[in-house]
Structure 1
């Protein structure tokens, strides 16, 4: 399901492999959720390793919604993510990188 060329990252949620994508709509929703914060600030936090669990949750919800699953942050908080918080953080970082880098620049 992962596809670095189209920006898709997969994540196992409650035993089901789900596609995540930061589509234009998902990015707009992410900006709304971030409020006064910016996508640039979010990227900088991930690049420096100073991201929060809120950042991870917000990115994953936006990505899952961009991938076609209508989920809320409350639903995701109650869900089981295979690999736990570390897997979630890694998937969120990949999702963000794939949204803003050319395919030949992408790692992982």
Structure 2
């Protein structure tokens, strides 16, 4: 089971649980890949509901890789994601929120 205090999120693909988390390296790569001015700008996109499906996929793939998954976007697109598109968006938002969680809050 994922530990939210360490930034982890449970993600279910094809009926199998994976633990995902965003590492510093993944966050840096996301900025460039998604053309965000900063991570704050990317988080604001999610908070304001201005994110795209591409944003969701990139964040989820980065989180899964941070948890040790070796797949990529193509594998994620071919997998059955528990909760469908809404579940994927919620997982991406949780990954970002937990990555920037300040201890004690």
Q: State the TM-score, normalized to the length of structure 2.
A: 0.90
Tell me the number of residue pairs that the alignment of Structure 1 and Structure 2 aligns. 105
- Unaligned stretches of 5+ in structure 2? none
Q: Which runs of 4+ in 1 moved over 6 A?
A: none
Q: Which residue of 1 aligns with 2:22?
A: 22
Instruction: Output one character per residue of 1:3-50: Cα deviation in whole Å (capped at 9) or x when no partner.
Output: 111000011011110011001222223233224553222111111111
Question: Which residue does the alignment assign to 1:81?
Answer: 81
Distance in 1 separating the partners of 2:38 and 2:52: 14
Label 1:45 to 1:16 Cα distance change in 2 as closer, same or farther (>3 A): same
Q: Is the 8 A contact 2:30 2:59 kept in 1?
A: yes
What is the CA–CA distance in structure 1 between the aligned matches of 2:22 and 2:88, rounded to whole Å?
15
Q: Decide whether the 8 Å contact of 2:14 with 2:79 is kept in 1.
A: yes
